[in-house]
Structure 1
């Protein structure tokens, strides 16, 4: 047997895979951008450096609320009581972002969600934490546990608000994981992130996400700011069935947060595109067989494959199918036999397994003997 390599057509090779090495500079201290559908990274800068997330950590508070809404433990019409602690610690008297809740007030869960998203209400976060877990401290433990479950391995929480604390840490990459989870798992509640205004207790406040006010397809997610963190934004925008998530932090002003986020997202949509490569169950090519009743067997892929790549790199992409062949029989349907290898200059190759489309039995003794003789005399395999 020897390594068999099949080069797929030039047209197919032109519609393949993305690379994260195609980069752009950013003034953000930390940054991470990913295509939601394909999972391919378009930009990363200190994406795994621990950082104070400020109010962007409220996204985890919201995740735990959405999770309970989805599984029926909560409803949007449920009401939570405002404790003295939530009023003092998270209200207007603390000088923090607030929903302007009053002590002992009953507040609907839907209003609390809007207060957290639109008004960045620390008081609303504490009300939610106390109602769900008994205390903000207990809720923070649950936040950290959920982060681990989601694969956010560099995140920890000490409060529900993002208030400065040495134990309140996330990374830009982890924030993108959380953003993608919110988008994919809770589409019925994600819509709240796009709302621009909310009035509660007679006070109207506007969503602080600057991208919502621009014609760029933005529909989320959350701003953040403290003196240590700088100005940050976890954002998402959707255009023509293509969604990008961008996280930036460490910017020096509200204006920089707005302009840099817009610039990076526009770059992501402009310079990259998504391309469908294979459909689940599609036969990619055929593999030669040895000592089999069949000459070849089809090689199929077990998943839809859609990939992201820089538009200017399409023509440089190569797609090959590799396997050690001819492959000796017997073959079972679903047996992994080969791989598709997607490569390009200065990029990391990607390998996708291929499987037998059908069974292929082994020749009987006489057939195997004849095939062996052919191989010895004529160099014929199969």
Structure 2
């Protein structure tokens, strides 16, 4: 029997922010909407696809898996592999190693292996001719062109094999612990495997790290020469909140879809692997998205640059230092449970100058019913220089006395 991730029952608790070892106070979050009768009802099980090898729903903001089955089981990624190819290309471009207007050659190998004469999807770029890298990439992303994926791999790394080494190196950096890539396109190959969870991590990373590259995934059709082909992600036409990510299909992998949608401040990522048809993978993904948005909500708990506490500083020109988060602290909870969160700060008992602006000083942790749901570093929002000789001497004596 496949294992299902259950949503735990939640017990009542008031929202407080304790200062841990530091005697400090923090502002309360913005008030939540009034509780509704439905908030007290249990969350129904996620609508699991009837035919699939693995599936999940992940909250983008926190990386929390809201529901899933077989999320760490090895599966063939099929053309969802091209999301990894897109990530590598974007990362290499950010490093200055390639450029969007690089002329990319559609080699004879790429054309014969992944072009129109094969059983797989192709882009239509002419053999032995070049196209700008960004156009070739759109041919890979929108049309799922295997030929374009090979041409891009050859341009970036010299060969598919060398590019696969890059794919695996970046996958390791992203925490994709159960993934191994053999090629840039996803056609079945021995050892070319990943998991639903790893793919969700990858989709989350592409959205977060390279939004321009991610934006290609919402293009509904793309034209190369006389050939116009549609994006195979049917949800782009059915749900205006969906803006990606990628489909995949081979006879052994089945029909696969990694989707993402944003409604309000909340974004979800779904992965469905090994479904029964092109339409069914869209239907099942839509059901999972609707379930996630209906029964969960994301809140921005604390904003960057806003002081959450002003703990005492020893031996400094200033007597206190404001601390807060460097990035927005977001938390996703079942709807109606926002007021039951608890947060705590963990700061050292003694903070000693000098302290640099942005220096990590501690951690803020958020729990729901005693279980962690989010945490973030607490950093100094201002620098504190060392005080004068007598300030340092006096504080040193006080610290010794208190110790």
TM-score, with length taken from structure 2: 0.74
Match of 1:226 among 231, 242, 250: 250
- Rounded to whole Å, the distance in 2 between the matches of 1:338 and 1:130 is 45
Moved more, 79-88 or 150-159: 79-88
Q: Secondary structure at the match of 1:222?
A: strand
Q: Secondary structure at the match of 1:248?
A: strand
Task: Give the match for residue 24 of structure 1.
Answer: 46
Whether 1:39 and 2:68 are equivalent positions in the alignment is no
Whether 1:300 and 2:317 are equivalent positions in the alignment is no
**8 Å CA contact 2:332, 2:373 repeated in 1:** no
Matches within 5 A, 1:1-382: 24-27=46-49, 28-284=52-308, 300-304=323-327, 305-320=329-344, 340-345=364-369, 347-348=371-372
Are residues 147 and 354 of structure 1, via their aligned partners in 2, closer, same or farther at CA, if it must alter by over 3 Å?
closer
Q: Secondary structure at the match of 1:47?
A: coil
Gaps of 5+ in 1: 16-20, 373-380
**8 Å CA contact 2:309, 2:324 repeated in 1:** no
- Rounded to whole Å, the distance in 1 between the matches of 2:278 and 2:212 is 30
Shift of 1:175: 1.4
Task: Give the match for residue 377 of structure 1.
Answer: none
More strand by share: 1
Residue correspondences, number: 359
- Rounded to whole Å, the distance in 2 between the matches of 1:329 and 1:143 is 43
TM-score, with length taken from structure 1: 0.78
- Rounded to whole Å, the distance in 2 between the matches of 1:4 and 1:81 is 61
Larger radius of gyration: 1
Shift of 1:349: 5.9
Are residues 303 and 58 of structure 1, via their aligned partners in 2, closer, same or farther at CA, if it must alter by over 3 Å?
same
Q: Secondary structure at the match of 1:94?
A: coil
**8 Å CA contact 1:80, 1:109 repeated in 2:** yes
RMSD between aligned alpha carbons? 3.8
Q: Secondary structure at the match of 1:303?
A: coil
**8 Å CA contact 1:8, 1:319 repeated in 2:** no
Q: Secondary structure at the match of 1:164?
A: coil
Q: Secondary structure at the match of 1:234?
A: strand
Shift of 1:251: 1.3
Q: Secondary structure at the match of 1:159?
A: coil
Gaps of 5+ in 2: 1-19, 34-41
- Rounded to whole Å, the distance in 1 between the matches of 2:132 and 2:116 is 20
